[in-house]
Amino acid sequence: MSFCRFPRFAAIRLLSLTLAFGLAGCTTGSEIRMGSHTLPAEKSAMSAEPEATLKFYFGGEKKAATDEVWTAVSDYVKTKGLDVKFSVQFIPWPEYSGKLLVMAAAGDRWDLNFDTESSFRQMASRGSYLRLNDLLPIYAPHLYERYRQQHSLLSATIGGDVVGLPWTIKMNQRPYAGWRADLAEKAGIYRSPESVQTVEDVDRLLHDLKKAYPNHKLSRIPSLSLYLVRDEWVDLGFYGLGFYLNDPKYEVRAIEDQPFYADAAFMSRTWYKDGILNPDSKIDYEDGADQWRNGKMLFTLTSHEWAYAADPGFADTSFRQQMSLLYPDKKTVNRSSISNVAAINRNSEHPELVLQFLDLLETDERLFDLVIYGIQGKTYELDGGKVVYPDNLKFSTSNYMDWGGQWVFWKPQFLRPTETYPEDFWKEEARFAELPVNVDSPVEGLLLNDQPISDLLEERDQIYEDFGKSIEFGMEPDVAQALSAYREKQRKNSLDTIISEVQRQVDQFLASQHRDPS
C-alpha cells in the first residue's frame, strides 16, 4: 500500500511513506466460453483480429525484469483467448499525479492507470476517465460481482457514472509513530511498548533523539497529521476541506480555520527551530519509504500494515524499529476503496480488452501470480506456499516484486504469504479495520466535482502553495502573524462560496447514499 507524497493542496497526507465487487448485465447473441469466462463472440474471437497493445501507467521506478514479466503475462493471456501485449510504463511518484493530469488534458492515449484517492477525484471530475456502467458487467462480470458484494462501486462513481475500478482490500491507516529502536537503545533512549500515544509523547521522543544524534536527519513529517487524529478530523481529500467525525451535521470547514491547525503550526515551528524537522522537508519529494528503509531518517509515521509487517524492508539487517499507536481511543475512518484504484483512460482504444484482462485477474490464480510476483525462479521463489526473493535479492533490490502500483490488483483470495507479509496478514488487516475505533467514513463514495468552483479552487491551491505550506512546515518565524494573514487570504478568495458548494454536494450525497449507482 502506498501513501505517495504528491505535491499540491489536493489532500492532507496522514502518512508520509510507503513501507514505502447478482451480475447486472448479460450477453446477447452467440457467446464463446473461455475457461470460466463468457465473452461476446465478436470481441473474443481474437484470432481474427490484430494483436492489440494495452498501455498501462503506474507510479514509482521500473524494475529490471518488468518487460520480461509482462511478456510472459501476454503469452499467458493469449492461451486464454486474449490476444494482447502490454506496454507497462512508470512515472516517479513525486511527478505521478501531476503528469497524469497534464497527459489527460492533452488528450494522450493510454488504456489503464493506477491512481490514488485525491488524484483520482481530480482526474474523474475533469472527465479524464471512461464511463464503465455498460462495459463493466459485460466484459468483467466476475469483477463486477465482487464490487456488488462489497458495495464499493459508489466510491468510484461521479454524476452516476462509474469511472474507476477500486481495489478490494479493507484497511485502516491510523498512524503509528515509528523510530529506529537500535539507535535509540544505543543512546539509552527507551520507551515501553505502546507508550508513545500523543503529540506530546512524540515531541519528547523527538527531542531525546535529536539530543543523542544532533547530526542525523530526524524527520521530514510536520506535526499536522497527529492533530488530525487527536481531533477526529475527516479529510475530504479536497483542497484542505473536511469535517469533524463527531459532528452529526458533517459541517464542511476549512482546515486552516480550525484550532488544531494553529496548534500544529506552533509545534512544527518548534520542531523546525530545534532541528527536528529537516530544513528541506518542504521541497523534499524523494520517496519517504526509501528514506526510512535506507536509514536516512530516525523517525516516521506509518500504519498498522508496516508496524506489523514481518519485514519492513530495511536496507541494513541491523536496523530495528519500534512502533506505537497514536491516540488509540480516537476514532479514525478506514481507508477508502479508492485509496488504490485503476481507471481506464477516456481515449482508450481497447477498454473491452482491459476489462477482460482484469476479469481474468479476478479468477485466475496463475495470472495473478505472474502479474504480482513475476516469473518463478527469476523474480521470486516458492518456499512451500510462501513467496521469497531469489538469491541475493531483497525488498530494496528486487528485480520485479514489490513494484509500485500493484496494490490495485491485489486479490485477497490469491495473495500469498511473503517475506514482508506473513500468513493471514490481510485477514488481520481487515480485523484491525473492523475495531470499534476504526469506522467507515460517512461520506465514503463521495466524489466531489470541482468544476462549478474550479477557478476559486485553483486560487485556493496557489495560496496554499505560496503561504500555507511554509506554515505547516514550521518555516514562518511569526506563526501567529503568518497564520492570520494566510486565513485572511483564503477568506478573500470566496471561501464561503467554496464551502457552500462542497456542503451542497456532501448533503446531496448523504441524502442519496443508499441508492445503488450501478
Q: What is the 3-state secondary structure (H, E, C) of 234-296?
A: EEEEECCEEEECCCCCCCCEEHHHCHHHHHHHHHHHHHHHCCCECCCHHHCCCCHHHHHHCCC
Determine which of 63-67, 243-247, 317-321 has the lowest per-residue pLDDT on average.
317-321
Mean pLDDT value across residues 382-392 = 91
- Write out the three cell numbers for 335: 481507508
Helices and strands of the chain, counted as H and E runs: 19, 19
Kindly tell me if the per-residue pLDDT of 28 is higher than 50. Answer: no
**Right CATH for 52-169+338-435 from 3.90.1150.10, 3.30.70.1560, 3.40.190.10, 3.40.50.300:** 3.40.190.10
d(CA 85, CA 74): 5
Among 349-363, 380-394, 410-424, the range with the most confident prediction by mean pLDDT is: 349-363
Among 197-211, 288-302, 304-318, the range with the most confident prediction by mean pLDDT is: 197-211
Mean pLDDT value across residues 185-197 = 96
HSE, CB side, 13 Å, CA atoms: give it for residue 246. 8
pTM (whole model) above 0.95: no
Quick check: 181 and 322 in contact, CB under 8 A? Answer: yes
Determine which of 154-163, 409-418, 482-491 has the lowest per-residue pLDDT on average.
154-163
HSE, CB side, 13 Å, CA atoms: give it for residue 495. 20
Neighbours of 163 (CB within 10 A): 24
Quick check: 422 and 298 in contact, CB under 8 A? Answer: no
Q: Quote the pLDDT of residue 424.
A: 87
pLDDT band at 45 (very low <50, low <70, confident <90, very high): very low
Please choose, from the candidates 113, 116, 118, the residue with its C-alpha nearest in 3D space to the C-alpha of residue 103.
113
Name the residue with cell 492570520: 484
Q: What backbone torsions phi and psi does residue 262 show, to the nearest 5 degrees?
A: -65, -40
d(CA 42, CA 159): 31
Determine which of 42-46, 60-64, 196-200, 319-323 has the lowest per-residue pLDDT on average.
42-46
Q: Quote the pLDDT of residue 60.
A: 93
HSE, CB side, 13 Å, CA atoms: give it for residue 214. 3
Q: Quote the pLDDT of residue 308.
A: 82
What is the rounded average pLDDT for all residues in the chain?
A: 87
Kindly tell me if the per-residue pLDDT of 284 is higher than 90. Answer: no
Quick check: 261 and 269 in contact, CB under 8 A? Answer: no
Kindly tell me if the per-residue pLDDT of 35 is higher than 50. Answer: no
Kindly tell me if the per-residue pLDDT of 293 is higher than 60. Answer: yes
Q: Quote the pLDDT of residue 333.
A: 95
pLDDT band at 202 (very low <50, low <70, confident <90, very high): very high
Neighbours of 331 (CB within 10 A): 16
Kindly tell me if the per-residue pLDDT of 245 is higher than 80. Answer: yes
- Write out the three cell numbers for 10: 489536493
- Write out the three cell numbers for 507: 448533503
Q: Quote the pLDDT of residue 184.
A: 96
d(CA 99, CA 89): 13
Mean pLDDT value across residues 130-156 = 94
d(CA 12, CA 379): 36
Mean pLDDT value across residues 478-500 = 98
Q: What backbone torsions phi and psi does residue 267 show, to the nearest 5 degrees?
A: -65, -45
Q: Quote the pLDDT of residue 285.
A: 64
Parse the chain into domains and list their residue ranges: 52-169+338-435, 175-221+277-333, 232-258+449-517
State whether residue 323 is helix, strand or coil: strand
Write the Ramachandran bin of 178: left for phi over 0, alpha for psi from -120 to 50, otherwise beta.
beta
Kindly tell me if the per-residue pLDDT of 269 is higher than 90. Answer: yes
Q: What backbone torsions phi and psi does residue 215 show, to the nearest 5 degrees?
A: -100, 0
Quick check: 292 and 396 in contact, CB under 8 A? Answer: no
Determine which of 10-14, 53-57, 245-249 has the lowest per-residue pLDDT on average.
10-14
| Direct distance between the N- and C-terminal alpha carbons of the chain, in angstroms, rounded to an integer | 27
Q: Quote the pLDDT of residue 326.
A: 97
Kindly tell me if the per-residue pLDDT of 256 is higher than 60. Answer: yes
Q: Quote the pLDDT of residue 17.
A: 36
Quick check: 20 and 293 in contact, CB under 8 A? Answer: yes
Among 38-52, 212-226, 386-400, 475-489, the range with the most confident prediction by mean pLDDT is: 475-489
Neighbours of 48 (CB within 10 A): 7
CA angle 334, 193, 322 (to 5 degrees): 75
Report which of residues 16 and 454 the model is more confident about. 454
Mean pLDDT value across residues 277-305 = 80
d(CA 219, CA 333): 25
pLDDT band at 249 (very low <50, low <70, confident <90, very high): very high
pLDDT band at 427 (very low <50, low <70, confident <90, very high): confident
Q: Quote the pLDDT of residue 279.
A: 77
pLDDT in tens, 325-358: 999 999 999 998 898 999 999 999 999 999 999 9
Kindly tell me if the per-residue pLDDT of 229 is higher than 90. Answer: yes
Q: Quote the pLDDT of residue 222.
A: 93
Q: How far is the CA of 226 from the CAs of 16, 180, 185, 250, 500, in angstroms?
A: 12, 19, 24, 21, 28
Report which of residues 423 and 39 the model is more confident about. 423
Report which of residues 433 and 159 the model is more confident about. 433
Q: Three-state SS string across 435-488, please?
A: CCCEECCCCCCCCCCCHHHHHHHHHHHHHHHHHHHHHHCCCCCCHHHHHHHHHH
Mean pLDDT value across residues 1-16 = 38
- Angle of helix 93-105 relative to helix 117-125, nearest 10 degrees, comes to 10
Report which of residues 347 and 422 the model is more confident about. 347
pLDDT in tens, 95-125: 999 999 999 999 999 999 999 988 898 899 8
- Quote the longest CA-to-CA distance of the chain: 75
